Chains A and B, each alone.
Chain A
Amino acid sequence: MLARTADNLFWLSRYVERAESLARILDVALRLATLPSAYAGSSNEWESAIDTAACSQAFYAAYPIANEKNVTEFIIAGETNPSSIRRCIENARHNARAVRTAITTEVWEILNDAWNQLQRIKLKNMNGQELTRFLSFVKEVSLRFDGTAYRTMLRTDHYWFQRLGMFIERSDNTARLLDVKYHVLLPEQEPVGGGLDYFQWSALLRSLSALNSYHLIYREGIKPWLVADFLILRSEQPRSLISTYKNLNEVLDLLSERYGRQGPSQRLVRSTFADLQNVDTDRLFQQGLHEFLVAFLGENNRLGMAISEQYLQ
């Protein structure tokens, strides 16, 4: 397969996954913004949304303050935001167009439809209902893309590079979401169980479609260390770091089998996956969740670059 094609496939699904994550970030913020401050705390949801989306620099260059109007506008279609939802969908479609031969017609149609629809949607000054509808639309695009790729693409390197992009992006998003929330919520060992963090954590879980599954797994109230456990270490949870790394590990193994050669990305993924398997939740909290997540984000980034050097150039 052409290295450029692999690169396009990798980025195509990264952009789709990113669009979905951004929609989920806005979801959390909107949900919390509806709560009275006694429940939601004094922290600014919109600032934290900008932090999670990792675009504070570009945002504050364009707007003086983080409020609902500015943040939604910027994340959805900010002119100076290279990673807005609109740009992500455009870039995904652009990458797909460059590799039409490598994806199925069905996958192409999802992205092309999404792009066509995007041209018709008014992206500025949305009212609440329009905003909710738009965010569902974005999440649906990602779900349909994912499901269609799963159901229609041949299990060859085309499919695997597409999956790699998705899991790298998803790991990044889960870690970031958790990091920003944790930072905002638990600067000190605050007493747990009050209304404030309950709503914060449940909004986070809900936006990851993980609230019900949390209850299924733990059968108790929402506790920050359990949420961290759930999103980092539980392989039952498909967005957890350990799940995405299990998948990355498998896909990179399949590639090395197919090509009959291993490289730095196989070594890196194995070591990060092994680290995750050996993490102990208590130690995680003692050593600092933030430090752990920052280190993880660095590893994940290095893996992305190793994949790029090994296969995509």
Chain B
Amino acid sequence: MAAFDEMRGHDDAVRPVYRDIAEWFEAAPQELITSRKAEAEAFFRRIGITFAVYGDEQGAERIIPFDILPRVITSGEWARLAEGLEQRVRAINAFIGDVYGAREVVKAGIVPEDLILANPAFRPEMTRIKPPKDIYAHIAGIDMVRTGPDEFFVLEDNARTPSGVSYMLENREAMLRLFPELLGRQKIKPVDQYPEELLATLRSVAPPTAPGEPTVVVLTPGPYNSAYYEHSFLADRMGVELVEGPDLFVRGNVVYMRTTEGPKRVDVIYRRVDDEYLDPLTFRPDSTLGVPGLMSAYKARNVTITNAVGTGVADDKAIYSYMPDIVRFFTGKDAMLKNIETYRCREPKMLSHVLANIGELVVKEVNGSGGYGMLVGPHATKAQREAFALKVKANPDNYIAQPTLALSTVPCFVEEGLAPRHVDLRPFVLSGSDKVRIVPGGLTRVALKKGSLVVNSSQGGGTKDTWVVDADSSAGTA
């Protein structure tokens, strides 16, 4: 089946919601497109929105390719998505609390206990720690894919430290600067309130011991981290300090930062450092990125760590397959967002199905990420499939498989001109003690290689601005 193109639908007729964009780009002379593309690249270099590529020589910084043709979602489509996202993330938070608490979800037979206990992201310390306000995944990124006019699926949940939100914001900024005439024709829901909503979320989960105006910081591994730009960007936009591990210390179970005026108390840490590196006294003793004693301060409820420690237990691919049941268990309702059908190789019947149909399936490692450790059956050679099948047979617990979906495409400017490329969407869901906040849209990632389904920036992926357009909901369907 041919992929659904979000601009041209299945039948090559421009969908109403893309009409203005299609007209504009068709009327624009080639030189204009070329010069705007170059300006966009210069814009990203100039503001320094770069990522470091591990293994490259020092000083090598790249920008993620930005495609100037926007991706559009109608506000009607978005409203349904947003409702489903809120439901899903509420369930994820309840699930993590339950995993580290009463474990009702196991008692009810929804999720097998060994899947939780054997999960490398499970942190036994968290069974003795209750995070303030009982929220775990304060910032979640839910990766969505689309296969048709009304067909959206969750591809993956990211409950640890999802990144990419700075691209969502800078992509809009680039479009506003480069295509004011195009943006002026539409009513596009704004996204630049994200940092304020993030700050409100972080403040809402301050520990009970915090003073009236809690002090929030962003904890980064430092300038050599590939997402450093984003860390500094968010701290800057929120107007809070960007700290590294050595800037913080713990005394009497309270976290302080070293300032020019002496120690200052810290109440909420938005950390972009992985669990294992947070506290050398609890986790990896060789970590210089963390803060000795942080976990005791956390346990004493004098500081809130966001996202909470141990949230990774909710976002691996094996747990993913149970999400429809988890959502139903914790919200009492069917999941509004669909999961992709998933075969768990740990179950013998499903394993034989996977091995028999490996040519049509996508097989993934349970803990893999970044597009590594997976087999796209239809794109693989016979030898690759056989080699992968052996790995799966040797350790079936470590794999899941899914049907290969015809992911939707959006036209992109590539070397041969305007051509369809596969996209996904990562909306960011903020869970505070007061409410759940979702900025309309999210980050659209695009697989710039022809036919490729892998959108990760480390493997030739790019990004697009994502517009949620205020059109009447009927306009959204072709």
Stretch at the interface among A2-10, A141-149, A190-198, A231-239: A2-10
* Cβ-defined contact, B233 with A100, below 8 A: yes
**Least Cβ–Cβ distance between A289 and chain B, in angstroms:** 37
**Chain A positions 1 through 30: 1 when the CB is less than 8 Å from some CB of chain B, otherwise 0:** 111111000000000000000000000000
Residue from A4, A101, A109, A116 having most chain B Cβ neighbours under 10 A:
A101
**Residue A223, interface by CB 8 Å:** no
Set of chain B residues within 8 Å of A261, measured between Cβ atoms: 261
Complex Cα spacing A134 to B92, Å: 57
Set of chain A residues within 8 Å of B247, measured between Cβ atoms: 2-4
* Cβ-defined contact, B47 with A6, below 8 A: no
Set of chain B residues within 8 Å of A100, measured between Cβ atoms: 48, 232-233, 236, 242
The range of chain A's interface size is 20 to 34
Complex Cα spacing A105 to B170, Å: 13
Contact flag A6-B223 (CB < 8 Å), given A101-B232, A116-B45: no
Known: A101-B235, A105-B47. 14 other contacts (CB 8 A): A1-B261, A2-B241, A2-B243, A2-B258, A3-B259, A97-B228, A100-B48, A101-B232, A112-B46, A112-B48, A113-B46, A119-B59, A161-B260, A259-B260
**Chain B positions 39 through 50: 1 when the CB is less than 8 Å from some CB of chain A, otherwise 0:** 000000111100
**Residue A296, interface by CB 8 Å:** no
Residue from A97, A100, A312 having most chain B Cβ neighbours under 10 A:
A100
* Cβ-defined contact, B236 with A4, below 8 A: no
- 27 contacts across the A-B interface (CB closer than 8 A): A1-B241, A2-B247, A2-B260, A3-B247, A3-B259, A3-B260, A4-B244, A94-B223, A97-B48, A97-B228, A100-B48, A100-B233, A101-B232, A101-B235, A101-B236, A101-B240, A101-B242, A108-B47, A109-B47, A112-B46, A112-B48, A113-B46, A116-B46, A157-B260, A259-B260, A259-B261, A311-B260
* Cβ-defined contact, A6 with B233, below 8 A: no
Set of chain B residues within 8 Å of A157, measured between Cβ atoms: 260
**Residue B257, interface by CB 8 Å:** yes
B:432-462 near A, CB below 8 Å? none
* Cβ-defined contact, A101 with B223, below 8 A: no
Complex Cα spacing A4 to B259, Å: 8
Complex Cα spacing A29 to B257, Å: 47
Interface secondary structure of A, over-half rule: helix
**Residue A295, interface by CB 8 Å:** no
Set of chain A residues within 8 Å of B59, measured between Cβ atoms: 90, 119
**Least Cβ–Cβ distance between A154 and chain B, in angstroms:** 12
Complex Cα spacing A271 to B232, Å: 39
**Residue A98, interface by CB 8 Å:** yes
Contact flag A108-B48 (CB < 8 Å), given A4-B247, A100-B233: yes
